[in-house]
A and B are shown apart, each in its own frame.
Chain A
Protein backbone atom coordinates (compact mmCIF):
# COMPACT_ATOMS: atom_id res chain seq x y z
CA UNK A 1 0.00 0.00 0.00
CA UNK A 2 0.91 3.63 -0.26
CA UNK A 3 3.43 4.95 2.18
CA UNK A 4 2.87 8.61 1.37
CA UNK A 5 -0.48 10.21 0.64
CA UNK A 6 -0.69 13.52 -1.15
CA UNK A 7 -3.83 15.60 -1.61
CA UNK A 8 -5.27 17.00 -3.79
CA UNK A 9 -3.99 15.17 -6.84
CA UNK A 10 -5.19 17.95 -9.12
CA UNK A 11 -6.14 21.52 -8.46
CA UNK A 12 -7.07 24.39 -10.71
CA UNK A 13 -7.18 27.87 -9.30
CA UNK A 14 -7.38 31.46 -10.39
CA UNK A 15 -4.38 33.70 -10.43
CA UNK A 16 -3.89 35.47 -7.11
CA UNK A 17 -5.45 32.80 -4.94
CA UNK A 18 -3.67 30.47 -2.52
CA UNK A 19 -3.58 26.70 -2.74
CA UNK A 20 -2.69 24.23 -0.02
CA UNK A 21 -1.26 20.77 -0.74
CA UNK A 22 -1.07 18.13 1.98
CA UNK A 23 1.48 15.36 2.35
CA UNK A 24 0.88 12.59 4.85
CA UNK A 25 3.22 9.84 5.95
CA UNK A 26 1.01 6.79 6.43
CA UNK A 27 3.37 4.12 7.72
CA UNK A 28 5.77 5.92 10.00
CA UNK A 29 6.49 9.16 11.73
CA UNK A 30 8.61 11.47 9.68
CA UNK A 31 10.60 14.29 11.17
CA UNK A 32 11.67 15.31 7.71
CA UNK A 33 9.70 15.59 4.51
CA UNK A 34 10.74 17.03 1.18
CA UNK A 35 8.93 19.05 -1.44
CA UNK A 36 9.87 18.78 -5.08
CA UNK A 37 8.59 20.51 -8.17
CA UNK A 38 8.60 18.99 -11.62
CA UNK A 39 7.94 20.91 -14.82
CA UNK A 40 6.94 18.98 -17.95
CA UNK A 41 9.80 16.91 -19.33
CA UNK A 42 12.09 18.28 -16.63
CA UNK A 43 13.72 16.71 -13.64
CA UNK A 44 12.43 16.95 -10.10
CA UNK A 45 13.85 19.96 -8.35
CA UNK A 46 14.03 20.06 -4.59
CA UNK A 47 12.22 23.12 -3.29
CA UNK A 48 12.52 22.74 0.43
CA UNK A 49 13.08 20.42 3.32
CA UNK A 50 10.26 20.38 5.83
CA UNK A 51 11.27 19.83 9.43
CA UNK A 52 8.76 18.86 12.10
CA UNK A 53 8.44 21.54 14.73
CA UNK A 54 10.81 23.98 13.10
CA UNK A 55 11.18 26.16 10.04
CA UNK A 56 11.59 24.64 6.63
CA UNK A 57 14.88 24.87 4.81
CA UNK A 58 14.49 26.34 1.33
CA UNK A 59 16.69 25.75 -1.66
CA UNK A 60 18.35 28.66 -3.34
CA UNK A 61 15.97 30.56 -5.57
CA UNK A 62 12.81 29.31 -3.89
CA UNK A 63 10.75 32.11 -2.30
CA UNK A 64 9.85 31.07 1.21
CA UNK A 65 7.14 33.72 1.46
CA UNK A 66 5.49 32.34 -1.64
CA UNK A 67 5.79 28.66 -0.84
CA UNK A 68 4.78 28.31 2.78
CA UNK A 69 5.63 25.01 4.39
CA UNK A 70 4.20 23.80 7.65
CA UNK A 71 5.20 20.54 9.32
CA UNK A 72 3.04 20.64 12.39
CA UNK A 73 3.01 16.92 13.14
CA UNK A 74 5.14 13.87 12.50
CA UNK A 75 2.79 12.66 9.79
CA UNK A 76 1.70 15.82 8.00
CA UNK A 77 3.43 18.52 6.02
CA UNK A 78 1.62 21.16 3.98
CA UNK A 79 2.77 23.32 1.12
CA UNK A 80 0.79 26.49 0.47
CA UNK A 81 1.36 28.31 -2.79
CA UNK A 82 0.39 31.89 -2.01
CA UNK A 83 -0.83 34.41 -4.58
CA UNK A 84 -0.45 31.81 -7.29
CA UNK A 85 0.54 32.85 -10.80
CA UNK A 86 0.36 30.87 -14.05
CA UNK A 87 4.12 30.26 -13.87
CA UNK A 88 3.53 28.36 -10.62
CA UNK A 89 1.65 25.73 -12.59
CA UNK A 90 3.61 22.54 -12.08
CA UNK A 91 3.62 19.06 -10.59
CA UNK A 92 4.42 19.22 -6.88
CA UNK A 93 5.63 16.06 -5.23
CA UNK A 94 6.40 15.39 -1.60
CA UNK A 95 8.65 12.69 -0.29
CA UNK A 96 9.32 11.12 3.06
CA UNK A 97 12.54 9.51 4.17
CA UNK A 98 12.26 6.23 6.07
CA UNK A 99 15.41 6.10 8.17
CA UNK A 100 14.93 2.47 9.12
CA UNK A 101 14.75 1.34 5.52
CA UNK A 102 17.08 4.01 4.24
CA UNK A 103 14.62 4.73 1.47
CA UNK A 104 12.84 7.77 0.15
CA UNK A 105 9.15 7.36 -0.65
CA UNK A 106 7.27 9.72 -2.92
CA UNK A 107 3.69 10.85 -2.92
CA UNK A 108 1.54 10.61 -6.02
CA UNK A 109 2.04 14.28 -6.75
CA UNK A 110 -0.30 17.25 -7.06
CA UNK A 111 -0.78 18.91 -10.40
CA UNK A 112 -1.43 22.61 -9.99
CA UNK A 113 -2.85 24.67 -12.81
CA UNK A 114 -3.14 28.40 -12.30
CA UNK A 115 -5.39 30.16 -14.75
Chain B
Protein backbone atom coordinates (compact mmCIF):
# COMPACT_ATOMS: atom_id res chain seq x y z
CA UNK B 1 0.00 0.00 0.00
CA UNK B 2 1.34 3.41 -0.94
CA UNK B 3 1.70 5.89 1.86
CA UNK B 4 -0.35 8.52 0.03
CA UNK B 5 -3.24 7.67 -2.26
CA UNK B 6 -4.76 10.14 -4.67
CA UNK B 7 -7.17 9.56 -7.52
CA UNK B 8 -5.41 10.74 -10.69
CA UNK B 9 -8.65 11.67 -12.43
CA UNK B 10 -8.94 13.30 -14.88
CA UNK B 11 -11.57 15.58 -13.45
CA UNK B 12 -13.44 17.92 -15.78
CA UNK B 13 -15.84 20.58 -14.49
CA UNK B 14 -17.56 23.68 -15.88
CA UNK B 15 -16.42 27.14 -14.88
CA UNK B 16 -17.92 28.20 -11.56
CA UNK B 17 -18.23 24.68 -10.18
CA UNK B 18 -17.01 23.65 -6.76
CA UNK B 19 -14.14 21.21 -7.04
CA UNK B 20 -13.29 18.66 -4.39
CA UNK B 21 -9.89 16.97 -4.42
CA UNK B 22 -8.93 14.31 -1.90
CA UNK B 23 -6.11 12.19 -0.60
CA UNK B 24 -5.87 9.41 1.91
CA UNK B 25 -2.78 8.29 3.75
CA UNK B 26 -1.64 5.48 5.96
CA UNK B 27 1.17 6.96 8.06
CA UNK B 28 -0.25 8.38 11.28
CA UNK B 29 3.01 10.26 11.86
CA UNK B 30 2.21 12.79 9.15
CA UNK B 31 1.74 16.20 10.71
CA UNK B 32 2.00 18.67 7.85
CA UNK B 33 -0.24 18.53 4.85
CA UNK B 34 0.24 20.46 1.67
CA UNK B 35 -1.41 20.99 -1.66
CA UNK B 36 0.64 21.83 -4.70
CA UNK B 37 -0.48 22.94 -8.12
CA UNK B 38 1.53 21.85 -11.12
CA UNK B 39 1.02 23.18 -14.60
CA UNK B 40 2.14 21.08 -17.51
CA UNK B 41 5.92 20.72 -17.74
CA UNK B 42 6.48 22.97 -14.75
CA UNK B 43 7.61 22.42 -11.20
CA UNK B 44 4.97 22.28 -8.45
CA UNK B 45 4.00 25.44 -6.59
CA UNK B 46 2.64 25.48 -3.07
CA UNK B 47 -1.02 26.37 -2.75
CA UNK B 48 -1.72 25.72 0.90
CA UNK B 49 -0.43 23.89 3.90
CA UNK B 50 -2.06 22.92 7.15
CA UNK B 51 -0.80 21.50 10.37
CA UNK B 52 -2.61 18.60 12.02
CA UNK B 53 -6.39 18.50 11.77
CA UNK B 54 -8.67 21.35 10.86
CA UNK B 55 -9.62 23.71 8.10
CA UNK B 56 -7.74 26.49 6.41
CA UNK B 57 -9.16 28.94 3.92
CA UNK B 58 -7.36 31.15 1.43
CA UNK B 59 -9.51 32.96 -1.07
CA UNK B 60 -11.32 30.41 -3.19
CA UNK B 61 -9.33 27.53 -1.71
CA UNK B 62 -10.13 25.59 1.45
CA UNK B 63 -7.97 22.79 2.80
CA UNK B 64 -9.33 20.28 5.29
CA UNK B 65 -7.48 17.67 7.29
CA UNK B 66 -9.12 14.86 9.19
CA UNK B 67 -6.36 12.97 10.93
CA UNK B 68 -8.74 10.53 12.56
CA UNK B 69 -9.77 9.34 9.11
CA UNK B 70 -6.37 9.98 7.52
CA UNK B 71 -8.12 12.00 4.87
CA UNK B 72 -7.37 15.43 3.44
CA UNK B 73 -9.30 17.57 1.00
CA UNK B 74 -8.89 20.65 -1.11
CA UNK B 75 -11.96 22.57 -2.19
CA UNK B 76 -11.92 25.12 -4.97
CA UNK B 77 -14.90 27.46 -5.12
CA UNK B 78 -15.98 29.32 -8.24
CA UNK B 79 -13.48 27.38 -10.31
CA UNK B 80 -11.85 29.15 -13.23
CA UNK B 81 -10.24 27.85 -16.43
CA UNK B 82 -6.93 29.11 -15.04
CA UNK B 83 -7.32 26.54 -12.25
CA UNK B 84 -6.78 23.80 -14.83
CA UNK B 85 -3.68 21.97 -13.65
CA UNK B 86 -2.58 18.90 -11.76
CA UNK B 87 -3.08 19.13 -8.01
CA UNK B 88 -0.77 17.12 -5.80
CA UNK B 89 -1.21 16.48 -2.14
CA UNK B 90 1.91 16.10 -0.06
CA UNK B 91 2.60 15.40 3.56
CA UNK B 92 5.42 15.24 6.01
CA UNK B 93 6.03 13.88 9.48
CA UNK B 94 8.53 16.62 10.30
CA UNK B 95 7.88 19.57 12.53
CA UNK B 96 8.71 23.08 11.44
CA UNK B 97 11.94 23.07 13.36
CA UNK B 98 13.44 20.56 10.98
CA UNK B 99 13.47 20.13 7.29
CA UNK B 100 10.19 19.74 5.48
CA UNK B 101 11.92 18.73 2.31
CA UNK B 102 11.19 15.09 2.78
CA UNK B 103 7.69 15.07 1.43
CA UNK B 104 5.47 12.19 0.45
CA UNK B 105 3.39 13.02 -2.60
CA UNK B 106 0.17 11.71 -4.04
CA UNK B 107 0.02 10.95 -7.76
CA UNK B 108 -1.77 14.18 -8.49
CA UNK B 109 -5.27 14.80 -9.84
CA UNK B 110 -5.54 16.35 -13.28
CA UNK B 111 -8.23 19.03 -13.28
CA UNK B 112 -9.74 20.76 -16.29
CA UNK B 113 -12.14 23.66 -15.86
CA UNK B 114 -13.91 24.44 -19.10
CA UNK B 115 -15.48 27.82 -19.87
What is A's interface to B at a CB cutoff of 8 Å?
4, 6, 32-34, 41-46, 49, 91, 93, 95, 97, 99, 102-109, 111
Contact = CB atoms under 8 A, between A and B. Distances in A.
Contacts of A103: 46, 49, 100
Contacts, number: 60
Nearest to A33: B101
Interface of B: 4, 6, 8, 36, 41-46, 49, 88, 90, 96, 99-103, 105-108
A41 B36 CA distance: 15
A43 B102 contact: no
A4 B37 CA distance: 16
B32 to A, nearest CB: 9
Interface centre among A43, A45, A95 (most CB of B within 10 A): A43
B96 A102 contact: yes
A45 B44 CA distance: 13
